[in-house]
Homo-oligomer: A and B are copies of this chain.
Amino acid sequence: MNNAFRYDIRVRYEETDAMGMVYYGNYARYLEVVRAEMIRAEGLSYALMEEQGVLMPVLRMNITYRGIAVYDDLIQAKAIILGEIGKTITYKTELIVKDQLINESEVELIFLDRSHRRPVACPSAFVAALEKYCVL
């Protein structure tokens, strides 16, 4: 994952649960933040995509939990895009805390036309911006 996008996220108190660690469902938020910041790092934004009438609901999420994160941990994320960017896009993300891999995931999203809710191709400006993160 040499060409991975890297981003750090601080664990908030709200994201922990009574086991004293991050609630398993809250990793979806971190993965969303990483996707948003990957686009922003290339000068675009997901908000801009919505303004252009394209939504990106999630089709599939597979998470393997290999360790835990606790309050105030600084989570280091590394994310790449698997395969090509077409009518869907698949992110593979690793989350690391104190040099330990705690979370591996794949999330596939689809590009939808907002008005008709039909699949569309990813806008070309976004393909161009993100292809540096693709791994075939």
Residues of A within 8 A of B (CB): 12-14, 16-21, 23-29, 32-33, 36, 45-47, 50, 55, 57-65, 68, 70-72
A63 touches B60 (CB 8 A): yes
The residue of chain B having its C-beta at the shortest distance from the C-beta of A37 within the complex is B10
A60 touches B71 (CB 8 A): no
Question: Dominant SS at the A interface?
Answer: mixed
B29 touches A28 (CB 8 A): no
A19 touches B55 (CB 8 A): yes
Partner of A65 from B19, B21, B60 at Cβ < 8 Å = B60
B residues near A26, Cβ cutoff 8 Å: 14, 25
Known: A36-B72, A61-B63, A62-B61. Contact between A13 and B20, CB under 8 A?
no
